[in-house]
A and B are shown apart, each in its own frame.
Chain A
Amino acid sequence: MLEVQNLSMRFGGLLAVDEVSLDVQEHEIVSIIGPNGAGKTTVFNCMSGFYKPTGGKILFEGKEVQGKPDYKISRLGMVRTFQHVRLFSQMTVVENLLVAQHRHLNTNLISGLLKTPNYREREQKSLDRAAYWLDRVGLLDLANREAGNLAYGQQRRLEIARCMVTEPKLLMLDEPAAGLNPAETKELNQLIVSLKEDYNVSVVLIEHDMSLVMDISDRINVINQGRPLASGTPEEIRQNDDVIKAYLGEA
C-alpha cells in the first residue's frame, strides 16, 4: 500500500537521505532501524509531508503523495507519532482525542451553534470512539486530566490512541518505546501487534529497542548514513554482515 522509491532529501550541502526505497504491504509491520543520525526520522518527515523530498517518489495506495501538505497526507490515512511526545498538553486527555477527529466532525459553524441533530450525532460518535480507545490503552479513568500531567508512558499510549481515532490505514511510529521501562515496552509490543491483527492497520516503525523490533516486525529496513544498507526479514537482518559491521563497527 505504501511504496517509497529512491527517496532523497538534501539540506544544502548535506545529503541526509540518499536513494532510500522501502515498501509496506497491507497487514504488515515494517521497521526502519539504523544508528543515530542515519536519517530515519528524515525519511518519516518526508513521508508524512513535513519535508518536501528533493528526489524520488512516495506512492500511497497507488497515488503520488510526495510534496503534498502534511494535513492532506494525514487525511489520506497516513498518521504518525513523534520521537518526542507531542500532545496538546494543556487540553484534557479526551479533548486530545476529539481534536484528532476534527475531519470526522460536523465543523459547520452554524449547525454547531444551533446544535443540529447531525452535529450532535457526530459529536456523540466521536466521544464514543474516544472512550473506546481510551479504554483500549487503559486511560479511561484519566479522561478529564490535563494531558501534560500524565506519566510519560501514559503520554506515549495517548499519542498512539490519538492517531488511532483518526482511523488510519497506515500508522507511522517514531521510536514509540523510547523512555519506557521493560514492562511498558512489553505492553506496547502487544498493543502494536493488536493494532495490526484486530484493526487491520499497517505499521511503519522506527525503533532502537532491538528486542521489540525483532519480535514484531515482518520485515526490517536498515539505513546507515542516509543510504539503504539492507532489508529483509528479522532473521536475515540478524545474520547480515553489513548490518553487524554498521552497528558494532569493523573489527
Chain B
Amino acid sequence: MAANNFRHALFCAIITLIISYPIIGFNLEAQGIDVTLTGADASTIVMVLLAAVIVFLFQMFREQIMGGLKSLPHPLPQSSKEPMAENRRAKIESWVLTGIVVLALFWPFFVSRGAVDLATLVLIYIMLALGLNVVVGLAGLLDLGYVAFYAVGAYTFALLSQYVGISFWLALPIGALLAALFGLVLGFPVLRLRGDYLAIVTLGFGEIIRILLNNWTTLTGGPNGIGGIPDPTLFGMEFGRRVKEEGNTSFHETFGIAYSGEHKVIFLYLIALVLAVFTALVIRRFMRMPVGRAWEALREDEIAARSLGLSRTAVKLSAFTIGAFFAGFAGTVFASKQGFISPESFVFLESAIILAIVVLGGMGSQIGVVLAAIAVTILPELAREFSEYRMLIFGAAMVLMMVWRPQGLMPMRRIHIELKRQE
C-alpha cells in the first residue's frame, strides 16, 4: 500500500515537473530581429521544484489529508437541517428572484460604463445558455452548433438594417423567428440521430453557417463583417449625439438633459435584462407545460415515450426550434450592442462556452445556468492580469467541478405537484 502510494506520488510529481517547467520556465525573447530562447531564472526553478514537492507530499499523504478534512465540522450547518416545506421554499425563492431583478434594474445607474457593458454581455450569454438548456438539459439532445442560430439572429438584423433599413424592434422578432426556422430545418435531418452522431452533425451545421457567412462576400461582406448596425431606439428617440434618421428625435434633447454616451449603454443593458427575464420566464412556463414534460420524457426513455403516443418528430423539433428562437433573440441584441459583426464572433469556441455554461450550471436548472453564465463571463474579465493562463484556469475549474459537483452548481429540482385526494 505504502509502496504503491509512493510510486503514484512520485509519478504525479514528475508529471508536474514535465508540464510546468517548459510552460513557465522557457521564454522566447526578441533580440533585434532574432528570437532567442532563454531559460528560467533560479527563483522560477525553485518555485517549480517546490510545486512538484507539494504535489508529491499531497499524493503521498492523500488519505490522511482527506480524512482530516472530513473530520472538520461541516462549514454549512444548515445543510444537515430538514429541507423547508416545498411551497414555502418556492415562495421565498420567487421573492428573492424578484428582488434580484429589481436590483438589476437600478444597478446600472450607479456603476461605471465598462461594468454595464460587461453586464450586457453576461445577459446575452444568459439568454443563449437558457435557450441551449432547453435543447441539451431538458430534451437531452447534444447540440454543438448552437452558435449558428446566434449568428442567424445577429446577421438577420445586420443585413436587414443594411439593405432594408429595418429598426431594432422589428428585427428582434424577425431575427428570432428566422433562427427558429433554421432550428426547424436543422431538426429534420437529425431526428434519427442521438448522442455522438447528433453532436457531430450539429457541429458541422455550426461550421457551415460560419463558413457561408465568411465566403458569401457579396451579401455578408465576408471576413470584413458588417458595420454601422443601428442602436435600438426608444419610441423613436435615438441615443446618439445627432439624430441619424428622419423623423426621429434624440433622447437627451427630448428630456432636456446633457448628452452622455452612457445613456445608450444603459438602455441596451435594460433591453437585454428585459429580454433575459422574458426568456427565463417563458422557458420556465414551458417546463411545466405538456411540451416541457414531453422533452424530458423523450430524454429519459425514447421508446417508452413513443409507446405512450408521443411523436418523436414533434417533440424533438419543438425543442430545437424553441432553443434556436432564443439564440436568435440574443444574436439580435448582440449585433445591436457591438454595432459591428463578423464571422469571427461565431466560432466553435462560442458553442463550447455556452455548452460549458449549461453543464457547469446543472443541466435543466435555470438558476444554475444563470449563475454559471455570470461566472464564466465575468471571471475571465476579473482575471485580466492572468489572461495568458485564462484557458488553464478555465480547465482547472472544469476539472474541479467534475470532481466535486458533477451534477452542476445547482442541479435541477423537480417541481412538486399538488394532488387532491379523491373523495
Tell me if B297 is interfacial: C-beta within 8 Å of chain A.
yes
Contact of A75 with B309 at beta-carbon distance under 8 Å, contacts A127-B419, A140-B419 already known:
yes
**Complex interface bits, A146-165 against B, C-beta within 8 A gives 1, otherwise 0:** 10000000000000001100
**Complex interface bits, B299-321 against A, C-beta within 8 A gives 1, otherwise 0:** 01101111111111000000000
* Inter-chain contacts of B310 with A (CB < 8 A): 71, 99, 102
Residues A92 and B291 in contact, CB atoms below 8 Å apart? no
Residues A128 and B300 in contact, CB atoms below 8 Å apart? no
Tell me if A107 is interfacial: C-beta within 8 Å of chain B.
yes
CB distance from B333 to the nearest CB of A (A): 21
A72 to B310, CA, bound (A): 9
CB distance from B388 to the nearest CB of A (A): 41
* Inter-chain contacts of B301 with A (CB < 8 A): 86-89
Contact of A107 with B291 at beta-carbon distance under 8 Å, contacts A92-B414, A112-B285, A166-B309 already known:
yes
What DSSP secondary structure best describes chain A's contact surface?
helix
Residues A113 and B285 in contact, CB atoms below 8 Å apart? yes
* Inter-chain contacts of B282 with A (CB < 8 A): 113
A134 to B282, CA, bound (A): 30
Contact of A102 with B421 at beta-carbon distance under 8 Å, contacts A74-B306, A113-B285 already known:
no
A132 to B282, CA, bound (A): 31
Residues A99 and B291 in contact, CB atoms below 8 Å apart? no
Contact of A128 with B308 at beta-carbon distance under 8 Å, contacts A102-B290, A109-B291 already known:
no
Residues B308 and A74 in contact, CB atoms below 8 Å apart? yes
Q: Which of B293, B310, B416, B419 has the most CB of A within 10 A?
A: B419
A70 to B156, CA, bound (A): 39
Tell me if B422 is interfacial: C-beta within 8 Å of chain A.
yes
* Inter-chain contacts of B309 with A (CB < 8 A): 71-72, 74-75, 79, 100, 102-103, 166
Counting chain B residues whose Cβ lies within 8 A of the other chain, the interface size class is: 20 to 34
Contact of A71 with B417 at beta-carbon distance under 8 Å, contacts A88-B297, A88-B300 already known:
no
Residues A135 and B297 in contact, CB atoms below 8 Å apart? no
Contact of B293 among A70, A102, A144 (CB under 8 A): A102
Residues A135 and B417 in contact, CB atoms below 8 Å apart? no
Contact of B419 among A82, A102, A134 (CB under 8 A): A134
Residues A140 and B307 in contact, CB atoms below 8 Å apart? no
* Inter-chain contacts of B290 with A (CB < 8 A): 98, 102, 105-107, 112
Residues A143 and B417 in contact, CB atoms below 8 Å apart? yes
Contact of A102 among B303, B308, B420 (CB under 8 A): B308
**Complex interface bits, B271-291 against A, C-beta within 8 A gives 1, otherwise 0:** 000000000001001100111
**Complex interface bits, A76-90 against B, C-beta within 8 A gives 1, otherwise 0:** 000110100011111
Please give me the 4 A-B residue pairs with the lowest Cβ-Cβ distance, nearest first: A88-B300, A86-B304, A74-B309, A112-B289
Show the binding face of B for A, using Cβ within 8 Å.
Answer: 282, 285-286, 289-291, 293-294, 296-297, 300-301, 303-312, 414, 416-417, 419-422
Chain A to chain B contacts (Cβ below 8 Å), 9 pairs: A48-B307, A72-B309, A86-B307, A88-B296, A95-B296, A95-B414, A107-B289, A134-B419, A144-B416
Show the binding face of A for B, using Cβ within 8 Å.
Answer: 48, 50, 69-72, 74-75, 79-80, 82, 86-92, 94-95, 98-100, 102-103, 105-107, 109, 112-113, 127-128, 130-132, 134-135, 140, 143-144, 146, 162-163, 166
